[in-house]
Amino acid sequence: MKYDIIVLGSGPGGYVTAIRASQLGFKTAIVEKESLGGVCLNWGCIPTKALLKSAQVFEYLKHAGDYGLSVKEYDKDFDAVVKRSRGVADGMSKGVQFLMKKNKIDVIEGFGTLKAGKKIDVDGKEYSADHIIIATGARSRELPSLPQDGKKVIGYREAMTLPNQPKKMIVVGSGAIGVEFAYFYNSMGTEVTIVEYLPNVVPVEDIDVSKQLERSFKKSGIKIMTSAEVTSVDTAGKGVKATVKTSKGEEVLEADVILSAVGIKTNIENIGLEDVGIVVDRDKIIVNDFYQTNIPGYYAIGDVTPGQALAHVASAEGILCVEKIAGQHVEALDYGNIPGCTYCSPEIASVGLTEKQAKDKGIDIKVGKFPFSASGKASAGGNKDGFVKVIFDAKYGEWLGCHMIGAGVTDMIAEAVLGRKLETTGHEVLKAVHPHPTMSEAVMEAVADAYDEVIHL
């Protein structure tokens, strides 16, 4: 079979790429070894949000009295919570199947291996294309000191489908995956301890956000150990024991299960990169601004490339890639304006420079901060934890960064992304009328604080 474009992998990078290619008139096929939608739809972004929604509803039931309501009897059904999550994921995967049919994209099931001459072998059958786009994504990374057995030491995939709710859980790593599962299991009643190697949880975030999340988590009963390292695990007994090295010495923690959330490993093994001659550096496929590899006709997008390993980044890269192939005039992606979102409670959302990064660059800055404790909408909703923090260049008013922690902030960050894309200034944000009462008016209030014009603080 001969195609214009074959996409290897059907995650949010791959399937979006295939659809855009089809829209542009290319005869397109997509290769998938498991389920359409990849990890994101089946084992990542979507089903985790379903779990987190169940946790949020359970939290509301626990605190019904805070809203003047009386709920005498309530409980959780862990199996039903997991089943709902899987149902949501299955529905989304079927939605991708529909999109493939709608856009006349051939779905080739099986494990794809790249071949020279712009060909792909799928379980012994060969296909060729003018352009081959690699979008094979990533998986949970394993540490030598923390080998995963899928039962007592698990990755994110097993964490979504545990047969029984553990009484005690150790979460190693406090990135997005780690803190989201820590929140979920803690809300369900599991005793959770987070072990983080670096000095702060969610270490890529602004330091104020990290400190706020730590306060909120500790208030919820989550134990947090920072500047700590799991040096070994013992799975011989009924549960699991983890030896944790800290500045105070070693400590042995006991739990039913350990969740390893220490990052990701790209899926680039055994897909034929070496046979084709495609250059890889430090687990990433090297590409140019429009995702071409060093071998003509082969491209790569998403987690397998050096950009941020986020679903929306993979989608944007794939669209740019095929539009460039189609001869359209496209601009390279601005990786400095990519929003990051974490869906624990309180949620975290950020874009651009942190305060420390801006200072390290020697920029004279204005910083504004507005706490949700001063927000009417947040008070009415009972979600007063958190704040919005904004950073502007003092001389020109350029919006350098925006950092949020609180209820629903992942739905608010797009304002900052769009504003930065359009090169808006602090005064323009300040003079754009924001609706009241809303959580989003905290953005305007934070900007007002930066310019010493804040009203409600």
Active site residues: 436
Helix (H, G, I), strand (E, B) or coil at 112: strand
Tokens encoding 370: 């507005």
Ramachandran region, residue 189 (left: φ > 0; alpha: ψ -120 to 50; beta: rest): left
For the chain, how many residues are written?
A: 457
Count CB-CB contacts under 10 A for residue 297.
16
CA dihedral 19, 20, 25, 31 (to 10 degrees): -40
- Which residues 6+ apart lie within 8 Å of 133 measured at CB? 5, 6, 7, 8, 14, 17, 291, 299, 300, 301, 318, 321, 322
CA atoms within 13 A of residue 127's CA, in its CB half-sphere? 28
My answer on whether omega of the bond before 47 falls inside 30° of 0, hence cis, is no
* DSSP-derived secondary structure for 216-257: HHHHTT-EEE-S-EEEEEE-SSSSEEEEEEETTEEEEEEESE
DSSP category for residue 173: -
Give CA–CA dist 74/420, Å, rounded: 45
Residue 104 carries which side chain, given as an amino acid letter?
K
Q: In what order do the strands lie in the sheet with 249-255?
A: 229-234, 240-246, 249-255
Tokens of 271: 């897909």
Euclidean distance between the first and final Cα of the chain, in Å?
66
Q: Which two tokens stand for residue 337?
A: 């304006």
**220, 107 contact by CB (below 8 A):** no
- CB neighbours (10 Å) of residue 375? 28
